[in-house]
Amino acid sequence: MFGNIDALTLIVLIVSILISLSVHEFMHALVGYKLGDTTAEQDGRLSLNPLRHIDPFMTVILPIITLVFIGAPVLAAKPVPFNPNFVKFEEYGGALIAIAGPLSNLAMAVISALVASLLMDGSLPEQILNIFTGLNVAIFVFNLIPIPPLDGSRVLYAFAPGPVQQFMEQIEPYGFFIIIFLVFIGGFGGVITHLNDAILNFLP
């Protein structure tokens, strides 16, 4: 999906990353706000402006490096803050905030795939939409990994027993380094690739 990167593809990919992660983080902030927490709004994160969400290394440099070395972008934006003391439904409210981001990427992937299916095969707009679709599917799948601080971990946390919650809290400060290490050594056993391919094959 992301092989044979040329200058145009790289530009499209970077722009797609900025759009996709901005919507992703905005949805975290919006759902948190709707559930009674104004922390993200006060921090300026209830916005679609990419400058509010991007981290120079995690959002731009890291995905380019991982794209070159492992063939798929691994990336993250600045985490959207929330105060669990203000969120309705306690841990389940936190899970709703977490899942809102990945679901927005899945929705964007579905929409862009539908539009691409209406275009001429091989046309430039179709190629751009295919990149956008593939990126959003990758973000959706990657963020569902149940290792802190990824969104999937927050969903798991809401339903996990106490000892598992305590373990997740202990590893959270090191979670992203664990994830990057596992990605580079292929520690997920191709699960991410298989899920990406399964979703892409299901889309139009």
Cα–Cα distance, 191 to 188 (Å, whole number): 6
Tell the burial category of 11 from Cβ atoms under 10 Å away from its Cβ (0-12, 13-18, 19+). Answer: exposed
Longest dimension (CA), the chain: 54
Q: At what angle do helices 7-34 and 62-70 cross, to 10 degrees?
A: 120
User: Using an 8 Å Cβ cutoff, are 45 and 52 in contact?
Assistant: yes
**CA quadruple 160, 148, 20, 77: dihedral, nearest 10:** 150
User: Using an 8 Å Cβ cutoff, are 134 and 200 in contact?
Assistant: yes
CA atoms within 13 Å, Cβ hemisphere of 22: 13
Kindly report the number of other CB atoms within 10 A of residue 184's CB atom. 12
Q: Is 25 a catalytic residue?
A: yes
Q: Annotated catalytic sites, by residue?
A: 25
